[in-house]
């Protein structure tokens, strides 16, 4: 009995997906709940797991193919069907022999993953010897062929008298590799271009003295970590709380545009930009007005782990009334972040840099950070944008204001 491997049911906001990676190839043994294939959508990567033990059958959708919700991706043969050919190794050898013989006159069969890898490395199927069932070329065969191709020039050292060999570059130093852009990265690019084209976006800047927050963090970080079961006190929680308070004071910054209507939100859902291998993702901290510093830090750390593993869910990335991006983790000193529609503004954090500042008529070296607020001028006036950023600056330079609500 064969079990159909189907694509997951996509949310309403996702029309289709792309087969990102097959983790099992035809003939591979499969255990129940083992990962078979990754489906990449515009927002998240969804995993398809095996429903039962068995052996991987034919693959209907190769890597890179577009699939719809619930579409058949391949077939999983049950354990009994898989055991039948395994019980007769002599027959398997007998079948592989003529197949290998025929391979001299015909192009060998390649699995989808092997074919894609061969094309990326400029290999012809006839150049690769298959070790799979019936002479089939597996992904490992292609990898071995690629490695052999790279090592081939090293096995034949050039004659010392030949001047051309002395200046020739080792093979591989000028290689090029063309890979398709991930759906997530393509969708991000599309949204950014759309935001720049359809939004009256402006950016205002300010700077904040980080010494008060740094002193507070240095004084209580050990006690904080011990009190909250290993959750570390970082800077992001202070920025989230400061932004939350500023959003309460300036509702327009927390609003969004829907057609010809302005939607004012009575809650603060703040997105935190997180970098991943597939692109920038923005999971949402919901109801930050009710979250403590430990809740914020713990949730952000959890989102970071999920982003690295590709485990973020659609629900965790949907919505949001405001976004905070921290380019400082990569060393950015100043930038102009792009608003994430339909939101009306985004706050950009940057690297903390010691600079000489004039304080009470004296030059003092202080840890300073540039802040950038990009906003939609159709909804937010310059006065509101500047006042919003100044409010964040004041709250961070005097963290007691967060407790006293002043």
Cis before 277? omega within 30: no
**β partners of residue 76:** 3, 56
Q: Choose, from 277, 381, 394, 398, the residue flagged as catalytic.
A: 381
Query: Residue 365's closest CA among 236, 234, 210, 220?
Result: 210
Query: Residue 324's closest CA among 362, 275, 270, 249?
Result: 270
Q: How many residues does the chain have?
A: 406
The alpha carbon of 290 is separated from its chain's Cα centroid by a whole number of angstroms, namely: 28
Question: How many angstroms separate the CA atoms of 261 and 256, rounded?
Answer: 9
Other beta carbons within 10 angstroms of residue 303's beta carbon come to 21
Question: How many angstroms separate the CA atoms of 237 and 119, rounded?
Answer: 47
Q: Choose, from 16, 78, 377, 394, the residue flagged as catalytic.
A: 377
Strands (E), 160-200: none
Rg (CA), the chain: 28
Instruction: Look at the block and give the residue holding tokens 């990326």.
Output: 120
Concerning whether 381 is annotated as a catalytic residue, the answer is yes
* Phi, psi (rounded to 5 degrees) for 145: -65, -40
Question: How many angstroms separate the CA atoms of 342 and 320, rounded?
Answer: 9
Query: DSSP for 88-138?
Result: -HHHHHHHHHHHHHHTTTSPPPB-HHHHHHHHHTT--GGGS---SGGGPBP
> Do residues 388 and 250 touch, judged by C-beta distance below 8 A?
yes
Structure token digits, residue 145? 């062929």
The alpha carbon of 61 is separated from its chain's Cα centroid by a whole number of angstroms, namely: 23
The alpha carbon of 337 is separated from its chain's Cα centroid by a whole number of angstroms, namely: 18
Other beta carbons within 10 angstroms of residue 243's beta carbon come to 26
Question: How many angstroms separate the CA atoms of 133 and 112, rounded?
Answer: 15
Structure token digits, residue 198? 């359809």
Among all residues, which ones are annotated catalytic?
377, 381
């Amino acid at each position: 009995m064969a079990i159909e491997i189907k694509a997951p049911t996509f949310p309403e906001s996702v029309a289709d997906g792309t087969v990102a990676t097959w983790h099992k190839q035809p003939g591979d043994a499969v255990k129940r709940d083992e990962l078979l294939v990754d489906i990449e959508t515009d927002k998240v990567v969804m995993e398809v797991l095996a429903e039962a033990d068995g052996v991987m059958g034919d693959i209907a959708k190769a890597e890179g193919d577009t699939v719809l919700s619930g579409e058949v991706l391949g077939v999983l043969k049950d354990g009994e069907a898989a055991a039948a050919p395994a019980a007769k190794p002599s027959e398997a050898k007998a079948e592989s022999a003529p197949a290998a013989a025929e391979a001299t006159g015909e192009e060998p069969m390649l699995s989808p993953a092997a074919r894609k890898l061969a094309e990326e490395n400029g290999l012809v199927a006839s150049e690769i010897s298959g070790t799979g069932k019936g002479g089939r070329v597996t992904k490992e065969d292609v990898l071995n062929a690629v490695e052999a191709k790279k090592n081939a020039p090293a096995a034949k050292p050039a004659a010392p008298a030949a001047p051309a060999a002395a200046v020739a570059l080792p093979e591989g130093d000028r290689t090029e590799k063309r890979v398709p852009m991930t759906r997530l990265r393509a969708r991000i690019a599309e949204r950014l271009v759309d935001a720049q084209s359809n939004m009256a976006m402006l950016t205002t800047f300010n700077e904040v003295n980080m010494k008060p927050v740094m002193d507070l963090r240095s004084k209580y970080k050990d006690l904080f970590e011990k009190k909250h079961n290993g959750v570390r006190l970082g800077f992001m929680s202070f920025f989230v709380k400061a932004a939350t308070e500023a959003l309460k004071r300036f509702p327009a910054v927390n609003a969004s545009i829907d057609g010809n209507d302005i939607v004012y939100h009575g809650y603060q859902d703040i997105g935190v930009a997180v970098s991943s291998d597939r692109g920038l993702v923005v999971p949402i901290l919901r109801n930050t007005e009710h979250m403590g510093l430990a809740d914020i830090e713990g949730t952000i750390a959890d989102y970071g782990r999920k982003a690295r593993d590709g485990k973020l869910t659609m629900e965790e990335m949907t919505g949001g009334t405001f976004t905070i991006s921290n380019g400082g983790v990569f060393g950015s000193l100043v930038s102009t972040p792009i608003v994430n529609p339909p939101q009306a503004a985004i706050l950009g954090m940057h690297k903390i840099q010691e600079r000489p500042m004039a304080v009470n008529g004296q030059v003092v070296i202080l840890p300073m950070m540039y802040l950038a607020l990009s906003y939609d001028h159709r909804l937010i006036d310059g006065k509101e944008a500047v006042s919003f950023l100044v409010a964040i600056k004041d709250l961070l330079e005097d963290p007691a204001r967060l407790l006293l609500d002043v």
